[in-house]
Amino acid sequence: MLDWTDRHCRFFHRLLAPHAWLYTEMITTGALLHGDLARHLRFNDEEHPVALQLGGSEPAALAHCARLAEEWGYDEVNLNCGCPSERVQNGAFGACLMAEPELVRDGIKAMQDAVGIPITVKHRIGIDRGEDYAFVRDFVGTVAQGGAKTFIVHARNAWLQGLSPKENREVPPLRYDFAWQLKRDFPQLEILVNGGISGIDAIHTQLEHIDGVMIGREAYHNPWMLVEWEQALFDVEWVPQRADIVDALIAYCEREQAEHGTPLRAMVRHVLGLGNGLPGARSFRRILSDPQALKDAKPALIRTAWAEVNKQIA
């Protein structure tokens, strides 16, 4: 979810889903070794539990970055072995690492030895057009030798040539049965599934076979579904109203502007779907995506935009 699940997005999602485990954008080891640590690693206390997703392949660099994650207070480090973009391939990490399970195992072992927080893996079920369950089974079996106990399975192949990253999320067929079989073959491991899951019925179906579900773009585009999933899956004592979320967002944006000078547009771009399905949602999106309205705007603009929804509901 590069350029999507930044700390502002994660704060918003935490308001909606108190029980969810949140993940950062993929951050490369190079960015942490040579870049601005605060820019890449700062997060809000409210986000816990939150995992740092790393992109990299060199065990020593991964171990160093895992130590940084632990020092900054992250609850987990997740190694990305699923991103298919050419830019990532050129860096020799992401989905192409599935062809080198021993290297991934060694990276996991180096991180496990360096920190006390969990080290997990996100991966595809295969690379290119070969659909052989034995490939992902052997990958998981080898990588687990490094100490990883949690595997998040994007249940599609990653085609390393000929498809854009967007097409790689849509064209290769979903094979949830591969993830389910992994759980049967490795009952001692925690197996989660990702890809194409959008409703509570689909979530319940997955949970009959595996340990958890990761949802990305559906939660981003239709964020109120997070509230509905919380109600369906957990013993929820209090259900927020959208107006409560608006109030919390305004307070957060005021804090961010005061402490860090964060432009409002950088924060509200993640909340455009809050009114989806309600009259006035289009006006809400229009106001919060208008460059002129956002220029030097104060967080109270969020309430102005939300009034368009309330006006049409009333």
With tokens 């390393």, the residue in question is: 160
Angstrom distance (rounded) from CA 45 to CA 67? 19
Q: Is there a catalytic annotation at residue 83?
A: yes
Contacts of 218 (CB under 8 A, 6+ apart): 197, 198, 225
DSSP per-residue codes, 73-124: T-SEEEEEE----HHHHHTT-GGGGGG-HHHHHHHHHHHHHH-SS-EEEEEE
| CA 196 – CA 154 distance, rounded (Å) | 9
Distance, C-alpha 278 to centroid of its chain: 26
Beta strands 76-81; 50-55: pairing state: parallel
Please tell me the distance from the alpha carbon of residue 70 to that of residue 184, in angstroms, as a whole number. Answer: 32
User: Helical H runs in 115-164?
Assistant: 133-144
| Cα distances (angstroms) measured from residue 97 to each of 124, 213, 270, 283 | 10, 23, 31, 44
Active-site residue (options: 9, 65, 83, 96): 83
Separation CA 198–CA 177 (nearest Å)? 17
Closest to 66 in 3D by CA, of 138, 120, 126: 120
C-alpha to C-alpha distance for 302 and 33, rounded to whole angstroms: 37
**ω before 240 within 30° of 0 (cis)?**
no
Tokens of 257: 């502007």
Helix axes 7-16, 224-233, angle to 10 degrees: 50
CB proximity list for 69: less than 8 A, separation 6 or greater: 41, 52, 54, 77, 115, 117
Q: What are the catalytic residues?
A: 83
